[in-house]
Amino acid sequence: MIDSSTTVLVNAAEHRVGTIEELRDLARHSHLLASLVRRDLTVRYKRSIIGFFWTMLNPLLLMIILTIVFSTIFKFEGIEPYAVYFLSEYLVFGFFTQTTVTSMTSLSWNGGLMKKVRVPKSIFAISTTISGLVNLCLAYIPLFIIMLALDAPIRPAVFFLPVAFLIIGVFTLGVSFFLSALAVYFEDVSHMYQVATIGLMYMTPIIYPISIIPYKFLWLVRGNPLTHLFKLARDPIYLGQLPAMHVIQASLISAVVSLVVGWLVFHRLSRNFYQHL
């Protein structure tokens, strides 16, 4: 019955080698990860087909409003079809905000669990990101239908999308680690973040083309990592071509930096989570 692989050693110096230990712990909990993702998706799509369309309703309604506003009142030159331009990034933005916000709450919701059994604390952000990616893939199906309806061409570059989603997913996971760790300590972080997401949305060329940004603010939009990251998902759909190499490079760097910083902060703060949950 005693198996050396299940020996748990906790000591005061553990945090110095903790990253490898936590990764090993995560691998041991693969069943739990699958269970958490299944739970997220069950809750979301429990009402089967209605649940699926319901999740699409919000971006679709917003798209209708914005299409009307921006194709009749404020016109952007040369964006055609606007719905494809907007939705190809807005869906990814929705994934980003929803995943980061959900991982903040999921950590405190699962606080009861973490007080009873040893689980790798990072598992909640990871499972939230994975279920978010599944939702994102499903959300692209209606976009393809819209493209067919609008006679917009679907080119082979769409096969780049899984890579794009993966890079965006890694970036999102890093941000989720960072924010969820802070949210355990400070309950107002999630309120502040919700305001910040509105700012982020306008700092990223999602509803407008980057060409309308005045020169003196261009650095703000260009320096925003989301600008490059979301372009990974837009170019294969809207332009029908692979993103430029410098866009891919910038995105990869952002994703890796986000993951490393997010993980380090999470790992450092997670030692004292217990007191705050």
Partner 1 sequence: MNEASIQFRKVSLDFKLANQGAITSFKEWAIRRLTRKLSYRKMRALDHLTFDVPIGATLGVVGDNGAGKSTLLRIAAGILQPSEGIATMRGEISPIIELGTGFEFELSGRENIFFNGALLGRSWSDMNDRVDEIVNFSELGEFIDQPIRTYSTGMIVRLAFAIATTVDPSILLLDEILSVGDQRFQTKCNQRMLGFQERGVTTVLVSHSLSAIEKICSSCLWLDHGQLKAYGPVDQVIAEYLVCVEAQNKGPIPGGAPARATG
The total of other beta-carbon atoms located within 10 Å of residue 18's CB is: 15
State the nearest-atom distance from the C-beta of 125 to partner 1, in Å: 17
Interior angle at CA 49, CA 44 and CA 53, nearest 5: 75
Distance (Å, whole) CA 125 – CA 130 = 9
State the nearest-atom distance from the C-beta of 186 to partner 1, in Å: 4
State the nearest-atom distance from the C-beta of 22 to partner 1, in Å: 12
What single-letter amino acid sits at 117?
V
State the nearest-atom distance from the C-beta of 112 to partner 1, in Å: 5
DSSP state at residue 152: -
State the nearest-atom distance from the C-beta of 98 to partner 1, in Å: 20
Q: Which residues contact 241 (CB under 8 A, 6 or more apart)?
A: 155, 157, 235
Evaluate the CA torsion angle 68, 232, 55, 109 in order and state its sign: negative
State the nearest-atom distance from the C-beta of 119 to partner 1, in Å: 7
Nearer Cβ to partner 1, position 68 or 113? 113
Distance (Å, whole) CA 81 – CA 72 = 13
Burial class (CB in 10 A: 0-12, 13-18, 19+), 78: exposed
Residues 272 and 182 sit within 8 Å (Cβ to Cβ): no
Nearer Cβ to partner 1, position 101 or 207? 101
Q: Which residues contact 142 (CB under 8 A, 6 or more apart)?
A: 56, 60
Contact set with partner 1 (CB under 8 A):
1-4, 6-12, 14-15, 28-29, 31-32, 34-36, 39, 43, 110, 112-119, 182, 185-189, 192, 271-272, 274-275
State the nearest-atom distance from the C-beta of 204 to partner 1, in Å: 24
The helix (H) or strand (E) run that includes residue 133 is helix 123-149
Residues 62 and 90 sit within 8 Å (Cβ to Cβ): yes
